[in-house]
Structure 1
Amino acid sequence: MSAAPLRTGSLRARTVVAVLVLLAVLLGLLSVAVEATLGDRLRTQIEDRLRDRASAAAALVGTVDADDLADRLSMQGLAVTITTSDGGSVEAGPTPEQLRQGPPEPPGLSGPARPGGSTPARGSATADGAPGSADVAGGQVSITSSSVREEGRLVTLVSRLSDGSTIRLTAGTGSVDEVLGELRWVMLGASAVFLLVAAVGLVLVVRRTMRPLDTMTNAARSIAHGDRGRRLRPARRDTEIGRVAVAFDEMLDAVEGAEHQALAAEARMRAFLSDAAHELRTPVAGIRAAADTLVRTPLGPAEREDLAVHVVRQAGRAGRLVDDMLLMARVDRGLELDLAPVDLGAVTRAEASRARLRAPELRVEVVEPSGAVGVSGDDDRLGQVLGNLLENAARATGGSGVVTVAVAVEDGHGVVRVTDDGPGIPEADRERVFDRLVRLDAARDDRSGGAGLGLPIARGIARAHGGDLVCAPGEDTTFVLTLPVVVPAPTLA
């Protein structure tokens, strides 16, 4: 299943657009909130002025007739309807339809009414109908109840007086709508200018903010063109871009290390194939020459037997080399081990006996502790490791030296030391002997030298068990096999 393609839209553009959209939404919400708050406040002021007019009218009831009072109230740009206690009705001022269309409101509406040049006292009547009193000197009429109703673009206040009359005052909200309209256009223009300035500032800020990404892009392209050693090395590692840069450098280090390992592995493989071909060419050439002689040349019985023995010997040598190469390949791929409790002392004694049979003049001494040394391992593979070490020791001593095999328990590990009294291994060659197809100059002849795969195979098997095989420093040649997980002796019984 293929992964979804990575979105490659401009990060700068998306950031600028996202921030501008967010700012536009916030400005829109702010405009709506301001308009709603201001509109509510202006309408409340109109209601308060209507109550002031109603209180002033209540103070004049009884001192002027209804027609005069209605004319005075209508001069404030209000639609006035006065219903007297005897059922009569007086109307003055513009009609509600004219107020709804928004006629200009006279200046007197912007402040408290002052009929007759006097300042009326404000009553305490509220919109919910709570009774109040005008408390004007000489006035005996008060407001018993009042109610406010807003419909369309009109605000109507109905006040009932204590003498039974009713005053209806209606004011238009056209001025409020005009103010809110002007405010709306001002907010729209200011928001447009603000967004334009914000867009320019965001482009500059985002461009500067995204500059490290351009640096990373240039570095990646430079590395792709061969500058493998280039790194970002961020000054701060605790920021978002710093963490990305650190991860980028770590990835490059890993890629470069993998590239070096791959090149080194390829070089080792080429060298191994070259050495293996060289090693196989010698026995194959010997077999071909002997076979050609046997076929083309008339020989006596003794000569034919010598050539046949030579063919067998060279074929065996080539077969051993092929077997070792196949085993080395299995070690590289990962050996399948049949793990079980194994007594290192028993394995050592068995391999020492085989070494004595192969080289009768070789003196093999086994040193063991009093108890069993048990490890979890593959009996056959561990025997192959010890067999390779003893064969290497016999080859180094010419088949007639002294080899000491010491088995011990150290720090919870089973340890086997194989020491011979041969010429020893130089310090510079103690690690090189574990390379494939490597033989020291003193052991290059066909009779005493192997193919150079015994020690690499032995180390590979040891490491497959979780242990190791090393060549210890010292005058004598000592190989140390270490295996983990010591098994208690009763388990081996």
Structure 2
Amino acid sequence: MTGRRWTLRRKLVITVAALVATGLLVTSLATILSLRSFVYERLDRQVLEGLDFATGPGAGGGSQGDPGDQDGSGPAPRVGTLQVVLDEDQKVLSSLFVTADGTEIALTDAQAEVFETTSFSPRTPVTVDLGGELGSFRVAGKEDGGTTMVTGNSLGDVTATTGALTAILVTVAGLTLLVVIIALSLIVRRNLRPLDRVAAVAQHVAGRRLADGAVAIPERVGDDDTDEHTEVGRVGSSLNTLLGHIEAALASRQNSEEKLQRFIADASHELRTPLSSIQGYAQLSLGEGAPMSPTQQRSFERIAAESERMSSLVDDLLLLARLDAGQPIRRDPVDLTLLAIDAVSDAHAADASRRWLLDVPEDPISVVGDENRLRQVLANLLRNARTHTPSGTVVTTSLRIGDGRALLEVTDDGPGIDSLVQDRLFERFARGDQARSREAGSTGLGLSIAHAIVSAHHGDIAVRSRPGETAFAVRLPL
């Protein structure tokens, strides 16, 4: 069936109906052929009996006179019978056909020509077509005193009988097939209802979001559809067992994630104080101006730099933990146009070795969200471009409206991202070292933070990249 998939119900009904139709067709053909063979054999016996009567004692079957001339001792020709006398040259000497009302008529020249061109074997019935009102006949011939006597019976009764039987069988078979299809549809529909209920449960579960968050799966197959003694019952029971295992696994996963989130949040919070102290003491030592050896000077500088980097990492981890925990964000109007202008200006001030271009519309584009978080998203994308592209790279920040959403894009003409890295680019601690050269290090959390913030704003972020063009696209609802 073009354009549609066949359901199990449709397959069962059509398959069984086809088998029944085949059986009815074979039975009907066998019946018709058997009846036709029987009627032909009976008709052939009648033809041969008529031939014996026509050539028997007292029959006018010689070359003299009409075949209908009787002396009273032979039987009279029966209705629907035909008698033809042929001479030695296969020419018709006389002919006689008895109509339904007993009238005896002679054959026309065209009909007589049929017999003149037909070869007759002794006492072997053949079929000839005389056309017109007479139609087809079953005839047989026998040589008698230099002439050939041919007798025959009309095939009209045979044709009428087989035609009537064919019509009856076609009608009965058609009605039987219709009843079978209707009954099959009802029976199959009734017996497949348990399977439909099991499929409905599976569809409801398939429609649930199981990727993250606390997930409960209350759907279960009913007790009526979990009988282990039936095929559908075994499927339903197995599905219930599977759903129970899945629910337990999801609950365990959620519990582990919550523990990890609490640990990261608590650890990040606790680490901020000692890191601030280390950074403060390092800056204090460097700011005193006291004499230090080169090794001491280098050590304090590295302590200050690494403590600052670790503080940034701790802040990022704490932010991710809060976003994962579902901490609500502010819902205020945010002017994305102004935000893009500020972000590009900051990027240009931080690094003048790259060309920072801005493409925004004249009319402001606003969304509802947390301005500081959205500013952080754009800053992370621009910092990512600065970190992973060589000097002289052109970085373009564009803003427009597409498909009813605000579209913010950061595009650069750098070396691109390796296709093996793109699929996990927004994972935590993912790095693009295999794809892009860089001079500065990174925590590997910038893009994951951007992804988490955009998701919290009910938007999405995607990347497309090839050598010479890399674009990060952020879509936010207006």
Please classify the TM superposition score into its range, dividing by the shorter chain length: 0.3 to 0.5
Max Rg structure: 1
TM-score normalised per structure 2: 0.44
